[in-house]
Amino acid sequence: EVQLVESGGGLVQPGESLRLSCAASGFMFSNYWMDWVRQAPGKGLEWVANINEDGSQKYYVDSVKGRFTISRDNARSSLYLQMNSLRADDTAVYYCSGRLDYWGQGVLVTVSS
């Protein structure tokens, strides 16, 4: 059974940092592009970033470029999202996804003073 389990969310103040993790199991993680997608409260889905199988290619939505960094550890079947300089409009549930086919349950990030 495919499982994607996110962790690392929480409440932070504007300007602070947070690192999200996603533990994958049940599929060949190292063969998949992986994505982060977020959903602000009451809003639709917004793609954030993705990374190719070996980590050599990374893409980001403009609003997070220079602030967020996606990475992966294939030996640990894990995906990460380092989020710096967080802003109030980064408040959302963040989903880890395998090729946008498989999805985790999401983790809430709240940025507020």
Stretch that binds another protein, among 8-16, 73-81, 84-92, 103-111 (CB under 8 A): 103-111
Q: Is 95 in the site for another protein (CB under 8 A)?
A: yes
Tokens coding 21: 């993790």
Q: Token pair 């499982």 is at which residue?
A: 3
Q: Is 5 in the site for another protein (CB under 8 A)?
A: no
Q: Is 27 in the site for another protein (CB under 8 A)?
A: no
Q: Is 44 in the site for another protein (CB under 8 A)?
A: yes
Q: Is 104 in the site for another protein (CB under 8 A)?
A: yes
Stretch that binds another protein, among 16-24, 73-81, 82-90, 96-104 (CB under 8 A): 96-104
Q: Which amino acid is at 112?
A: S
Q: Is 41 in the site for another protein (CB under 8 A)?
A: no
Listed residue (103, 108, 107) closest to 26, CA to CA = 103
C-alpha to C-alpha distances, 79 to 10, 14, 15, 46, 100, nearest whole angstrom: 18, 24, 23, 18, 14
| Near another protein in 59-78, by CB under 8 A | 59-62
Tokens coding 11: 């409440």
Listed residue (91, 98, 68) closest to 14, CA to CA = 91
Site residues, another protein (CB under 8 A): 35, 37, 44-47, 50, 59-62, 95, 100-106
